[in-house]
Every structure is written in structure tokens, then in C-alpha cells.
Chains A and B, each alone.
Chain A
Amino acid sequence: MEKTLLVLFRDEIFPEVLSVASDIATKLQLGVKVFASDIPPQELESKLPSGGRFEVIRGGGNFEEILEKENPFLTLLPRPKVSPIVHAFKKPWSEKLVESTDRWNFLLVEQGMGKIKKALLYVDRDKASDTYIRTTYEFLQRWGVEFEFTTVFDERSFELLIKKEHPEQEAKELLGKMFEDYISAVREKIKKALGLKRVEILPLKGEVRKTLPYFAKMHGYDLVVISHAYEDKNELIENSETSVAVFKN
């Protein structure tokens, strides 16, 4: 595991990002480097909380260059709170950055969410790698955040076909069996990746990109963890009203 946390800002400092960074840094014993593209380093330094582990990055460059140079374990970015309709036509720069690359781990900290207590760790059957499962599991454990594994079974893709070709009860049973098989496969995958004998999973049904953010928000989770490999990554980030961590697969 690399030894740095990186915090990126543009022209505004979000205290909640610093607060979360400070918490992670303390728990994981990491240093925190802060860079703001549109705030002079002296001004940025004066605005950072005193007595923290923060170190301001001096010298110019764009975010990609800073990421290349620092190669952090995790990059924290602010995610300003905007109404969903505004969000549909005005995407924050931090989301665009996360969408543009899959080479680094990111944590988009939702505005107003200074402390992260509960998280959902999403694992799918087909894409999530052993490395992703191990890294995120270890990270959340060391951070001390209460978390649960979750997976989402999207039955919509087969539902119509099955309902067309089978009587109602039979279709229901078939879908139920497919759901069980899916959950079981994900459970086995996590067990194998972590070498555990027993794993609890929170199973959900629906479209991942809609269901996961909705469930997280409605059930008091502060963070959703996904991998860059999840094909609807960008859509899920846009639909979230919690903090979102996106890890390398």
C-alpha cells in the first residue's frame, strides 16, 4: 500500500474533505498532501487546520500531473451538493476527473459529510477482482468504518424473457433460483479473495446504478465503495447522494 493521501481542490476548500482525510490519515498512519489548482499555496496553507498532517504541494501542474507525480494510495475530492436536475446538466470537476481515469483510487466526499461512519462495499459476480476486494476490505477495516458487503441482482434483463417463456409461478421460482445462485457466487468470490469461511452479504435487487445509491441514502450509509471496472461507474456516481469511493480493480 502506498503511503500518501492526496487531497485535491480547485478554487474552493471543503472542510469536510480535510476532516475525512485527517481521520483516514490518523487511522492508517499516512501523510496527507493537499493541492488546489486555483488557490496560491500560501493562501491554501493558511486555510488548512493547524496541527494536522497536511502538507501543501507547491508548484503548478494539472491534476493528472500531480496524480502521476505523487502516486497516492487514495485521492480525496470534494463533491458539491447540487439538486439532481442541476446535476444532470452541470457535472462537478471532481466527478469528471474520476470518470476520466481508472488508474487511481478516489474518494469523492459529499459536501456536508464530515464524518463517514457506515459504508457499503459493492462486489459483483463478474467484474470485481480479488485485488479490489482485498484492498477495499483491508482499507475499510483499518479505517474503522462500519461496513457491509453488498451486491445487486439485476433481474430486469431476464425478467421479461423468462415471464414470456414460463408460466407465472414457474417464472417466479426460476428468478428466485437465479437470485440465490447470484448471491451465492458473489459470497464464494469474497470468501476466496479474503480467505474467510463465512461472509455476510446484503443482497439487493434492481438496477445497480439506481438501486445502490437509493438504498445507501435511505438507510443511512455515508459511503458506497465500487470499483473502476463496474461498467456504470459514472452513472452510479452521478446518482449518489452519499460519498463514493472508486478503487482500482
Chain B
Amino acid sequence: MGEHHTLLELLGLNSPKAKYWISIGLFLGTYAMIILERYFHRVPAALLGGALAIFIGLVTPKEAWESIDHNTMFLLVGMMVIVSVLIESGFFSILSNWALKLTKGDPLKILLVFTFLTAFLSAFLDNVTTVLFMVPILLQMLVKLRINPIPYVIATVLASNIGGTATLIGDPPNIIIGSLGHFTFNDFLVNIAPIVIITHIFGTITFVLYMKWRGYLERKITDQEELDRIINSQRAEYDIPLMRKGLIVFGITLLLFFFHHLIGLEPGTVALTMAAVLLLWTKLNPEKVFERVEWGTLMFFVGLFMVIGTLEVTGVFEDLAHFVAGIVKDALSGIWIIGGLSAIISGIVDNIPFTMAMSYVLLDLAQSVHFNVEPLWWALALGACLGGNLTIIGASANVVAAGLVEREGYKITFMDFLKMGTPVAVVTVVVALFLLWLKYLIFGV
């Protein structure tokens, strides 16, 4: 067998320096394609980036494969399967119908109940899934109540991004941070969840004030009988035995998340195992369940891990970490720098590749500075997740919600979202980073 040469070797670009710059070019090119969603689908864009890294010889197939974080992938697949079964059981529809009855058609109550419920669900489910469930029900209800649904939908999406920040499994950036930073489910509960709860209150106050100011909270139907008729006509198509099994497995999964460090299992392993148990127990057709799994998102992660892994192999992150270390003098000031930067960038571009890149920077930073970088990881989580509320393209859930309302004949414009999203994002990011800063100021880094 003859000796194989990579494309870079054939072109004489095999030096570490050349590889260094080519990997940056590949990363930026992939990133540009992801940003230009109008022209390229982000999934093939990310996959192409990853595949090209192997094709031209920047990394070996083995290096590319090893750069895919198995914990993130297992956690995503496992949770998507469990959530898919819960969706099939009608659990979320029941929760939403319950919310409708609770609000009795009062616009302010609808806003508060839906945003609270969305934030709560988002803490345990992926934001896109939560939005996919809550928005159609909200739309259906508000149309019947003759209320303009757009501000309510935006508020719901904002709440989902805030709520998702609270836990390890609530938002993809947190899954990445948890996995690469080696943080447990409980670490997130202790360090992030209390901050997010307070932040959510401030976020709610902000959008309630905005909606009150714009007159969006006025009743359109004042006849209580008519209201009751509309509300009581809702009924979900549910399956109680399936829901029982789904909730039992979901409960055990959460319990194992709490104690996963004690039993020495990663959250990804727990989620994947429990998903398999649930499929076997329910005897559901796996192919039907897998239809709800977002394979596109998973493939997007595969591609991104490979592209970003290339930067790690060629030493780009090491240099970036040295650069950040030059700016970040200590953990307390770093909270504001990393958090603020993450929020701004996440508001403009997809927060998943950004978080992935920043995680590698923080990993390398930990080697080159003499202070504890843990607060910076939390600042990254808060900034990346909450910053997604800045613009309509800041988070996947925002884009999904815009698509859902369009199907019903409404439109959320870039400006509609900006007017409500930006004040909420600014308030929540500032409050969250302040609370994080205060915590470390009082209790020490």
C-alpha cells in the first residue's frame, strides 16, 4: 500500500503555522455560513466545516471523532426522546389547558401564567420544544379572545430563554458548559438557578410594564359567560397510562441528575439509559418517537464540535486564552467582561457555536491564570443564554416562534422583537451578572 498524503501536505501547507491560520479560516467561513441563514442551512454548513477539516488534513478522522462531546450528544438525544414521549402523552397540552382555565381570559393573568409556566418548563426541556408547545396554544387562545398575540408570543419566548438558563439541561449552551466545564446538574441548581429566579422576576416586570405602556393588556371580551365558554371548550388528546410512564421515567431521570456525581455517571449516560428504558416500557414504535427528535440540531452539534475541535488541535484556543487572560485580571471583573461579551455576541449570532468556542477558551484560560475561573463559566452561561433575547436571531426558540406565528397569518418583525427583547435582555443580563458578582464578592471566589 502506498503512502497517503493529505491535501495540505500536497499543497505544502502542512506546517503548524499554516494549519493554525487555515483552521481559523475554516472556523470563520463556517461561522459566516451559519450566520447567513438566508442563503445556507446551518446544519449542512456546520457539517461541511467539520468534514472539510478532515478532508484537507487539518485533523485526522480519529481526532475529529474524539472532538465530538459524547456527553452533550447523549444528553440531547436522551432528553429529546423522553420529551417526545411526554408530548405524545399530551402532558404539555394538559398543562397549557390548565393554565387557560386558571387565567379565566384575563390578559395580565394569561401573560403571567404562560410566561411563568414556559420559564418553568424551559428549565427542564429544551427551549425550542417548550416554544413549540406553548406558542400554538397561546395563539389559539388569544385569537379566540380577540387579543393581538404578537407581544404575548414574544414575552413567552423571552421567558423560555430566561427559564432555560436555570439548569444544566435547560438550554444547549448550558449542556455544553456542563459537559466541557465538568459541572453537575446540582452545580447549576446552586449557582445559576437562584439567580435566574430573581432575574425572571425582573424580566417579567420589564415586559409587563412595556405591554401595559403599549396598551396590550386590555380585555377585548368582557362578557364572562362568553369567556368561560371559550376556555372550557379546550381539551387535550391525551394518554394517561403513557403519561404516567413518561413522568415516572422523567422523575427518575431528574433524580439521577441530582445524584449523578455520587453514582459516577454523566448526565448524558443517565438520559440515554432512561430514554431506552422508557421506549422499552411504553412499547411505542421507536421510529415514531424519533420523528420528534431534532436530528438536524444533533447533526449541527456534530459538525460544530468537529470544526471547533480543529481550533483546539491547532492551538488557537490556547492563544485566545492568553489574550483573554491579558484582559481579565481577576474573576470579579471577568464576570462582567465574559458575561457582557457573551450576551452581546449571543444576541447577534447563534449562541451554540459561540459557547462552544468560549468553553475551550475558558478551559485553556484555567491553565494560564492564577485565579479560580468558575465564576467565568457561570458568567458565560448567563450571558450566552440571556443574551439570546436581544434580537430575533439570538436564539433558536425566537426563530421557531416567528415561524409558528407566520403559519397563523401573523408576523413578528425584527423591530417588534427588538423593541421588547432588548430592554428585557439588558435588564436580565445586568441583574444576573450583578447577582453573580455580588455572590462572589460576599462569599469570595
Inter-chain CA distance A207–B242, complex, in Å, is 13
Inter-chain CA distance A75–B62, complex, in Å, is 68
Say yes or no for A62: interface residue by CB 8 A criterion: no
Say yes or no for B238: interface residue by CB 8 A criterion: yes
Inter-chain CA distance A238–B285, complex, in Å, is 21
Inter-chain CA distance A234–B98, complex, in Å, is 24
Say yes or no for B41: interface residue by CB 8 A criterion: no
Say yes or no for B426: interface residue by CB 8 A criterion: no
Say yes or no for B254: interface residue by CB 8 A criterion: no
**In the complex the two chains form, is A87's CB within 8 Å of B240's CB?**
yes
Q: A156-B285, A156-B288 are in contact. Are A88 and B244 (CB under 8 A)?
A: yes
A45 to B: closest C-beta gap in Å: 36
Interface size class of A (residues with CB under 8 A): 20 to 34
Number of A-B contacts (CB under 8 A): 49
**In the complex the two chains form, is A88's CB within 8 Å of B240's CB?**
yes
A164 to B: closest C-beta gap in Å: 9
B217-261 interface bits toward A, Cβ cutoff 8 Å, 1 = contact, 0 = none? 000000000000000000111111111100100000000000000
Inter-chain CA distance A210–B94, complex, in Å, is 14
B residues within 8 A CB of A234?
Answer: 241
A241 to B: closest C-beta gap in Å: 7
A169-193 interface bits toward B, Cβ cutoff 8 Å, 1 = contact, 0 = none? 0000000000000000000000000
**In the complex the two chains form, is B243's CB within 8 Å of A84's CB?**
yes
A residues within 8 A CB of B243?
Answer: 84-85, 88
Say yes or no for B287: interface residue by CB 8 A criterion: yes
**In the complex the two chains form, is B240's CB within 8 Å of A238's CB?**
yes
A residues within 8 A CB of B238?
Answer: 84, 210, 214, 239
Q: From B91, which residue of chain A is reached at the shortest CB distance?
A: A85
B residues within 8 A CB of A209?
Answer: 239
**In the complex the two chains form, is B235's CB within 8 Å of A88's CB?**
no
B residues within 8 A CB of A118?
Answer: none
A residues within 8 A CB of B288?
Answer: 156, 160
Interface size class of B (residues with CB under 8 A): 10 to 19
A193-228 interface bits toward B, Cβ cutoff 8 Å, 1 = contact, 0 = none? 000000000000001011100100110000000000
* Chain B binding surface, main DSSP class: helix
A residues within 8 A CB of B235?
Answer: 214, 217-218, 241
B residues within 8 A CB of A83?
Answer: 94, 98
Q: From B98, which residue of chain A is reached at the shortest CB distance?
A: A83
**In the complex the two chains form, is B285's CB within 8 Å of A235's CB?**
no
Inter-chain CA distance A225–B185, complex, in Å, is 48
Q: Which of A211, A218, A235 is B240 in contact with, Cβ under 8 Å? A: A235
Inter-chain CA distance A209–B282, complex, in Å, is 14
Say yes or no for A46: interface residue by CB 8 A criterion: no
Q: A156-B285, A156-B288, A160-B287 are in contact. Are A88 and B247 (CB under 8 A)?
A: yes
**In the complex the two chains form, is B239's CB within 8 Å of A210's CB?**
yes
Please provide the 8 A-B residue pairs with the shortest distance between their CB atoms, ordered closest to farther: A214-B237, A88-B244, A238-B240, A235-B241, A210-B239, A88-B240, A88-B243, A84-B94
> Which A residues are closer than 8 A to B by beta carbons?
83-85, 87-89, 156-157, 160, 207, 209-211, 214, 217-218, 234-235, 238-239, 241
30 A-B pairs within 8 Å (CB atoms) are namely: A84-B90, A84-B94, A84-B238, A84-B240, A84-B243, A85-B94, A85-B243, A87-B240, A88-B240, A88-B241, A89-B244, A156-B285, A156-B288, A157-B285, A160-B287, A160-B288, A210-B90, A210-B238, A210-B239, A211-B237, A214-B235, A214-B237, A217-B235, A235-B239, A235-B241, A238-B241, A239-B238, A239-B240, A239-B241, A241-B235
